[in-house]
Amino acid sequence: MTISKTKYSEPDGLKSAFESSSGTKEIVPVYESPLIEDSIEDEIKERFTSGESITEIMQDLIKVELEAKKREYYNSVLVKILSLIADSKNPQLDIEVLIAASGLTLREGVSHSSIAAKYGITRAAFSARLRKVIDDLGLSNPRACKSLESIKEYKLTNKSKSKQSK
């Protein structure tokens, strides 16, 4: 089945409609709406009564729902990135932090210390910004950036060592 995607808006919410070459539509909710949920229920009933297996129907619906969730996630990350830059007192520094969060600076051989020096801040200040961006965007840590868990563990270990030495 060849599926082409079209979007249309209704007063009660937004729908994504997938129209096959045979003219049937598979409706997928983007925003929750009773009308949209009814459309999905009708679609399932129609496809099932036409002889299509429930497994195929559910696989199609899951696939489309996952795509919608991916688009929603990528949109939220993009909004966070643009907000970070727009609200920044030093947008160029924050762009460098985003580049470092992606791991690109490591591949180019640029150290966090050299980036920090370029903007007149300490490596620790740069790392703190980097950790915050990674955490806010839900990214995985680049190799040169310690995870928040390891930083907390390190602090706890140092506190216990300093108490023992006293």
Task: Tell me the chain's radius of gyration from C-alpha atoms.
Answer: 24
What is the model's pTM? Answer: 0.53
Regions of the chain with pLDDT less than 70: 1-38, 106-107, 142-152, 154, 160-166
Per-residue confidence (pLDDT) for residue 21, from 0 to 100: 46
Q: How far apart are CA 15 and CA 12, in angstroms?
A: 10
> Could you write out the three-class secondary structure of 132-156?
HHHHHHCCCCCCCCCCHHHHHHHHH
Question: What rounded mean pLDDT belongs to the chain?
Answer: 74
